[in-house]
């Protein structure tokens, strides 16, 4: 386990966690394997990778998602038209009308 992984484990124990270090490491590994492995496609026209990938566990957790002004106008993740609003947690641009649809698993 890396030094940062060990530090996280120690913090987990301070907060009252009961797992052994091996069990904790396995739980972390399993959680990482469950993350959706398919990021948004590469934008070939600009030659850059999209930075709007959000793991589904965070996207659909229903906790602390707020519509806020975006730093930059970009395309909405649902309807693909320009917007200046974004989700505070997912950090993706999204219209107010598209906000709920984006955060509900279909």
pLDDT of residue 49: 41
For 79, the token pair is: 């309807």
**pLDDT tens digits, 12-35:** 889 888 889 998 888 888 777 776
User: pTM of this prediction?
Assistant: 0.50
In whole angstroms, give the CA distance from residue 52 to residue 36.
13
**pLDDT tens digits, 33-82:** 776 555 544 444 444 444 556 777 788 888 889 999 998 899 999 999 99
**pLDDT tens digits, 76-87:** 999 999 999 999
| Closest to 4 measured CA to CA, from 26, 34, 25, 27 | 25
Q: How far is CA 103 from CA 44, 46, 51, 100, in A?
A: 27, 28, 18, 5
């Amino acid at each position: 386990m890396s030094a940062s992984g060990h530090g996280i484990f120690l913090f987990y124990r301070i907060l009252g966690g009961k797992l052994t270090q091996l069990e904790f490491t396995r739980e972390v590994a399993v959680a990482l394997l469950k993350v959706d492995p398919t990021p948004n496609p590469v934008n070939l026209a600009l030659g850059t990778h999209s930075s709007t990938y959000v793991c589904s566990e965070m996207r659909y957790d229903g906790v602390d998602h707020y519509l806020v002004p975006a730093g930059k106008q970009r395309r909405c993740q649902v309807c693909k038209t320009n917007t200046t609003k974004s989700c505070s947690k997912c950090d993706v641009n999204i219209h107010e009308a598209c906000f709920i649809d984006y955060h509900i698993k279909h």
